[in-house]
Amino acid sequence: MAFRPHLKATVYATEEAIINAPIAAETMTGANGNKMYECPEDRLVEILKRYNRIKE
């Protein structure tokens, strides 16, 4: 089944937002002292390559 162009664009935009979010995030401490760490771009690229999500 072929996606309609606007639906396909929505899928690509969502994927891009998911990939960009860890890079744009900063380390922060939340409720109950939970800590979320930023993800360095080179580490994210390494992970994406490992799982064949991007081409080298």
Q: How many domains does the chain have?
A: 1
pLDDT in tens, the chain (56 residues): 566 989 999 999 999 999 899 889 999 999 999 998 989 999 999 999 999 988 76
Q: Is residue 38 part of a domain?
A: yes
Residues 39 and 23 sit within 8 Å (Cβ to Cβ): yes
pLDDT value at residue 3? 67
Amino acid in the structure at residue 45: V
Q: Is residue 56 part of a domain?
A: no
- Cα atoms found within 13 Å of the Cα of residue 39, Cβ hemisphere only: 14
Q: Is residue 55 part of a domain?
A: no
Q: Is residue 32 part of a domain?
A: yes
Q: DSSP characters for 11-52? A: HHHHHHHHHHHHHH---EE-GGG-EE----HHHHHHHHHHTT
What domain range is 9 assigned to?
5-50
Q: Is residue 26 part of a domain?
A: yes
